[in-house]
Structure 1
Amino acid sequence: MTVISKPHTSLELFPHGGWDVHHHIFEPAKFAYAPDRHLTPPPATVQQFLEFKKNIGITNSVLTHGLSYGSDCTSLKSFVDELGKTDTKAIGVIDPDTVTPEELREMQSKGVRGIRVNLYKYQAMHDVELQKKALREHARAIGKHCPGWSMAFTHVHPEFWADLIPVIEHEIVPSGVCLVTDHFALLRTASMLSSECEGDVTRQTGFREIMELVRAGHLYVKLSAPYRVSHEAPYYADLKPLVRALFNANRHQILWGSDWPHTPHMKVRSREEALCETPCLIIDDLEWLKSLRSWLTAEEWHAMMVSNPQRLYGW
């Protein structure tokens, strides 16, 4: 069993506040899910998140539009109003082929400060060329009208990063869009690594490319959903080498998100699977936060929890 050196209360964890930059709200009774969704999560209401937020000690959050709602952000804007615009920003989903400048300005007025790319819509989860297409089209749609907005995406193939770097460096970065990837860029820890890596996180495919992008300031990485890259719940001790590598590369590019209510692992589901309600995971977020805090200096923690999200999301 992993031993945590010192327990932390919520006040000790967040003496200057804490920003959760990746959580969802699902209220299908009020807002119906998209018929072509890839996942049917159970309800996770505004009130339930507010209780979670209070229990953990979070002061600010970035509501991330659930892909189960497709590109219709009506629910997102309503949820932000309920959560309170003064301490909540949002990440939306758009259809880059049809979104108008007026719609983007209206999203901005509602607290939206970025978008996420729905790779399922592009059937791009396992196709790097389609991923390039999706990134280009989304960056083109927002770059001219929403300078400084972020663009987040998650994919399950770290080996794609080598092919994505030229697009990121020569097209996405010059567009003024801030690129973000979720869930540790899905780099794996020792408990999930294949045998050829011999437990060394630095030897896995994609590690070098991701660190190069972070070091150059071209990519933000969310330390979110540790259960997607480690089997060692609740402390996730084998994440320490990966966390330290990211901070050593560039502490100004690291963010923290809960991924509440902890939807299951990403995968391409059949039509029948997608339409059946899939339960969320049960995660001890406070124990994970205590573990993460023990690996960082006070300056690193403040950067991740306060100053980086303030800068990126324009508080």
Structure 2
Amino acid sequence: MAPNQPPACPGPDPHPAAPRRFTVPNGAVDTHAHVIGLPPQWPWIANRAYTPEEATAEAYLAMLDAVGMTYGVLVQVSVHGTDNSLMESVLRANPQRLRGVAVTTPSLQDAEYRRLKEAGVTGLRMNLLQGGGLGLDGLQDTAALCKEQGWHLQLLLDARQLPELAPALSRLPVPLVLDHMANFPAAEGPQHPGFQALVGLVGDGAWVKLSGAFRLSQLAPDFADVVPLARALLAVAPDRCLWGSDWPHVTHWGTMPKVGDLLDLVADWAPDEATRHRVLVENPARLYGF
């Protein structure tokens, strides 16, 4: 690796397969994935945290087919910054199967927001993990924009921030979606104030993605300490829990997860078929408009 070069991130499992513990229902939605292009056609931002491999739309759709998922939601990946053009092109090529969540700057013109909406974008994502001067004023402005477009607001944050942030988040005028169980470190345990704040926020109306277990826990392959977290969230809001693969698993430098194995975890979190159907089919269909 060259000096000052962001570390290389390995690509996803090249041989995806369906879960073994249950049959994925028709209409299931993977609510969190990324497509990644290569420069010079699809430039990367200079201050990126990693150097990725290409993750094409064709590879993503093939993964969905292999594991039995019907639909997918693409989330703008950080290495492409606020240039949503690759994601937009993939959405336009797959209007029946894919939706998108964009990352934008406040300077976009109304026509550009309309174009993203027409392409299949249903929400905006904000990153509260790295700071960088983003305050609650920016959060409110973005939420107002989402309300104008009929979109939801998706946040990448650390649940340990929630005791401070939850009051402001609970007042946002749009549906709020929290990534990866709010990135809560499972080893901290479900009684941690941050996780309890997450449970309260989800119980009061927020949506949450039951995803990223391989990021939250060191207890591979079953990630047993994530089970009580997922079950607690399902207990308070079974109609607002979602599932996502987080394909192609960027910023993960260990053994690349197999999406079928990640789906198998849902059998531990939601042992009954009816709840799994809500998480995989009914809830995302309602939020993303499938």
Give percent identity, aligned residues only. 29
Residue 182 (structure 2) aligns with: 185
Counterparts of 2:207 and 2:127 in 1: how far apart (Å)?
18
Counterparts of 1:31 and 1:223 in 2: how far apart (Å)?
30
Taking the TM superposition and a 5 Å limit, the aligned residue runs for 1:20-99 are 20-29=30-39, 30-82=41-93, 84-96=94-106, 98-99=107-108
Q: Deviations over 1:110-135 (max 9, x none)?
A: 000011114478515xxxxx342332
Q: Deviations over 1:154-179 (max 9, x none)?
A: 123x2321221221223x1xx2x211
Residue 139 (structure 1) aligns with: 143
Is 1:210 matched with 2:198?
A: yes
CA contact (8 A) 2:20 2:264 kept: no
CA contact (8 A) 1:234 1:288 kept: no
Q: 2:170 aligns to what SS in structure 1? A: helix
Superposition deviation, residue 288 in structure 1: 2.5
Counterparts of 1:11 and 1:162 in 2: how far apart (Å)?
36
Q: 2:105 aligns to what SS in structure 1? A: coil
CA contact (8 A) 1:122 1:134 kept: no
Is 1:247 matched with 2:234?
A: yes
Residue 247 (structure 2) aligns with: 260
Q: Deviations over 1:192-240 (max 9, x none)?
A: 33xxxxxxx22213122111111111x1110111111111222222211
Counterparts of 1:150 and 1:135 in 2: how far apart (Å)?
12
Match of 1:102 among 104, 107, 111: 111
Residue 152 (structure 1) aligns with: 154
The verdict on how the C-alpha distance between 1:280 and 1:294 changes in structure 2, with shifts beyond 3 A counting, is closer
Match of 1:298 among 256, 273, 289: 273
The verdict on how the C-alpha distance between 1:284 and 1:17 changes in structure 2, with shifts beyond 3 A counting, is same
CA contact (8 A) 2:227 2:268 kept: no
Counterparts of 1:44 and 1:134 in 2: how far apart (Å)?
31
CA contact (8 A) 1:221 1:253 kept: yes
Is 1:233 matched with 2:220?
A: yes
- Code of the aligned partner of 1:235: D
Q: 2:122 aligns to what SS in structure 1? A: strand
Is 1:287 matched with 2:274?
A: no
Superposition deviation, residue 281 in structure 1: 5.3
Residue 312 (structure 1) aligns with: 287
The verdict on how the C-alpha distance between 1:44 and 1:155 changes in structure 2, with shifts beyond 3 A counting, is same
Superposition deviation, residue 54 in structure 1: 1.5
Gaps of 5+ in 2: 1-17
CA contact (8 A) 2:21 2:264 kept: no
The verdict on how the C-alpha distance between 1:99 and 1:221 changes in structure 2, with shifts beyond 3 A counting, is same
Counterparts of 1:121 and 1:203 in 2: how far apart (Å)?
25
The verdict on how the C-alpha distance between 1:228 and 1:108 changes in structure 2, with shifts beyond 3 A counting, is same
Counterparts of 1:9 and 1:285 in 2: how far apart (Å)?
8
- Code of the aligned partner of 1:139: A
Residue 17 (structure 1) aligns with: 27
Residue 222 (structure 1) aligns with: 209
Counterparts of 2:59 and 2:132 in 1: how far apart (Å)?
33
Q: 1:162 aligns to what SS in structure 2? A: helix
Q: 1:153 aligns to what SS in structure 2? A: strand
Aligned-residue CA RMSD (Å):
2.1
CA contact (8 A) 1:262 1:280 kept: no
Counterparts of 1:187 and 1:15 in 2: how far apart (Å)?
28
- Code of the aligned partner of 1:288: L
- Code of the aligned partner of 1:234: P
The verdict on how the C-alpha distance between 1:135 and 1:188 changes in structure 2, with shifts beyond 3 A counting, is same
